[in-house]
Amino acid sequence: MKPIAAIFDMDGLLIDSETIALRTFQMICDQHQLGDQFSLYQQLLGTNDATTLIILSNHLPAAISVEAFMQDWMSLYEEQTLTAVPLMNGVLELLDYLEASGIPKSVATSTRTELAHSKLSNSGILHRFTHVTCGDQVDNGKPAPDIYLKAAQRLQVDPARCLALEDSPIGVTAALAAGMQVIQIPSLVQPDAETIALGHKILNDLHEVIHYLEGR
């Protein structure tokens, strides 16, 4: 079934913010002499603030205040994303293609509303989307389907006719649970066997999404 609407994740899919998030996360880890924590960061991909706090509380040493760790990380991260965050490869071309095809577009991101709008605006693409649905606008964050269902509702499109574009396994799980068609474009983390077994389409970049849609 050909999709009639497209819903984008943001971080690591539209903008190259995951690289900044990982770098600043590791900087805070280094301050606490925690060593390389890339494996822990992988568990945070696609999660909202509440879920991130839970994961950190389960993995950080008891002597570290999770709230202070999170605040220090977010302050450093937001400081480094005040200016334009680079777009991911193929973003503008795919947006142009969808607009030429009359396909409405929205964003579904775990990021809170104020920060999401700021990052999209600074990167020059906020105006390209009909709606931006954020993690603080739903009761349950990814991997629950809530954010994708709300995004589809705002577009007034059946979720089954929506194409969800994601980079993280958590986001893929959320979109599939919402009943959407899903394409994953991995960024920092390549899909493991469990993710591949979900049966969705996996492509290398957003340029390939155009070729895929042209062949539908």
Q: Looking at 11, 16, 146, 167, which residue is catalytic?
A: 11
Catalytic residue check, 9: yes
Buried b (16+ CB within 10 A) or exposed e, 145-160: bbbbbbbbebbebebe
In the chain, DSSP assigns E strands to: 5-8, 105-109, 131-134, 162-166, 181-184, 201-202
Sign of the alpha-carbon torsion through 160, 164, 168, 171: negative
Task: Give the residues across from 87 on adjacent strands.
Answer: 15
Which of 9, 16, 146, 167 is flagged as catalytic?
Answer: 9
Q: Is 11 a catalytic residue?
A: yes
Return the active site residues: 9, 11
